[in-house]
Every structure is written in structure tokens, then in C-alpha cells.
Homo-oligomer: A and B are copies of this chain.
């Protein structure tokens, strides 16, 4: 293959998760999403729910939030805030996973964490809000919060989190080799294109 690893960053509801999963299946390589959360949980003692939320979203909660999520000994964080500690372990886990061999990693600033490797293709998937709002309702169901507001909240948090830890703007074309509008391109075309590029 031309690239060993693919990182996929995505706007909420854009179908980036599904595209990443299909690429991994087509290339017959592991797809890391939940597994990364589980690995971080083992290393940190944080609950998977806390990690799933905090490893991609804003560092916006009160310092007390983690007291309920943290099952390990307080001393192991070495004076770091829970979020900085989580970031340190997240980086370590992603670097380790990448060392193991070809794979697809979704979200969690993997594009930034693996930016110094030259065998990694970085892709960003986005789409217009109307398309994503419809997809969010179809895939995750309706809630009291309107779908458009859910998109804005989720992406706002992803953007804040990315900015905080990478010092770059989330979604800037220059952070990725390829940015695709999944609505205009169509999910299958996105998959085909990425598979072709990965194969070289």
C-alpha cells in the first residue's frame, strides 16, 4: 500500500465514521474507534464514557466532573489536570496503535498526533448542515434538542478540543491531505477514492 495508516476526522453527521469503517473493511485492516477508548480506560482508570466524551470534545467541564469518572489512584496523574493527563495517554495509545501496523483511526486528533509519520493519509469528511441534520435524525434518532443545534454543539466542542490540544484550526484544509464533502461526493465515491489513494 502507498499508505499504512488512514486517519479520518469528520463533522458530526457527515458519515465520516461509516466511510472510515468501509475503507478499513475494503483494505482488510483494523478500524480503531471504541478500541482506543478501551485502551485509554485501562491505562488511566477513567470510565469509557468519560473518555469517549473528553477525548474528542471540549475541555469545558468543571474539575469536579472527573471525580465521578476516575477509578484510579489520584497520584498517577502526576500533577496534570484530568484532561491533560487524558491527552497524554491518548497520544501514547494512538502512537502505539500506529506502531502495530496498518489501520484506520477515527477522530481523537490522530491526524495531529501522527503528523510526523509519512505513511499516514489524513482525510477530513464534511457536508452541509441540512444533509447532516437529516442523517443525524435517521442514524441517532430525534431528541429534545433540534438536530441543527446538536450539530453545532458537537462540532463546536470538537473544534475547541482540537484547537486546545493542537494549536490548529479544526477543519482547515491544510491539516489534511484530502477533504471531502460527503453529500456532494456521495459516500461510496468517498470510500472508492480513499481506498485508491491508500493503495497508491
The complex places the Cα of A200 from the Cα of B145 at a distance, in Å, of 37
Chain B residues, CB < 8 A from A176: 173, 179, 181
Q: Across the interface, name the chain B residue whose C-beta is closest to A193.
A: B193
Task: Please give, as numbers and ranges, the residues of chain B lying within 8 Å of A177 by CB-CB distance.
Answer: 180-181, 184-185
Query: Smallest CB–CB gap between A24 and chain B, Å?
Result: 20
Residues of B close to A124: CB separation below 8 A: 173, 179
Stoichiometry (number of copies): 2
Chain A residues within 8 Å of chain B by Cβ, number: 19
User: From DSSP, what is the main secondary structure of chain A's interface residues?
Assistant: mixed
Residues A1-53 near B (CB distance < 8 A): 11
A188-B152 Cα distance, complex, nearest whole Å: 37
Whether a CB of chain B sits under 8 angstroms from the CB of A126 is yes
Assembled-state Cα–Cα distance A173/B184 (Å): 13
Cα distance A171–B180 in the bound complex, in angstroms: 13
Check if B174 sits within 8 Å of A185, measured CB to CB. Answer: no
Does A197 belong to the interface (CB within 8 Å)?
Answer: yes
A148 to chain B, nearest CB (A): 15
Nearest-CB distance from A192 to chain B (Å)? 10
Which A residues between 151 and 186 are near B, CB-CB below 8 angstroms? 169, 171-174, 176-181, 184-185
What are 28 sample pairs from A and B whose C-beta atoms fall under 8 A apart?
A11-B174, A124-B173, A124-B179, A126-B173, A126-B174, A169-B169, A171-B172, A171-B173, A171-B174, A172-B172, A172-B173, A173-B173, A173-B176, A173-B179, A176-B179, A176-B181, A177-B180, A177-B181, A177-B184, A178-B178, A178-B179, A178-B180, A178-B181, A178-B184, A178-B185, A179-B179, A185-B197, A193-B193
Instruction: Knowing that A178-B179, A178-B184 touch, tell me 11 more A-B residue pairs with CB under 8 angstroms.
Output: A121-B184, A124-B179, A126-B173, A126-B174, A169-B169, A171-B173, A173-B176, A177-B181, A177-B184, A185-B197, A193-B193
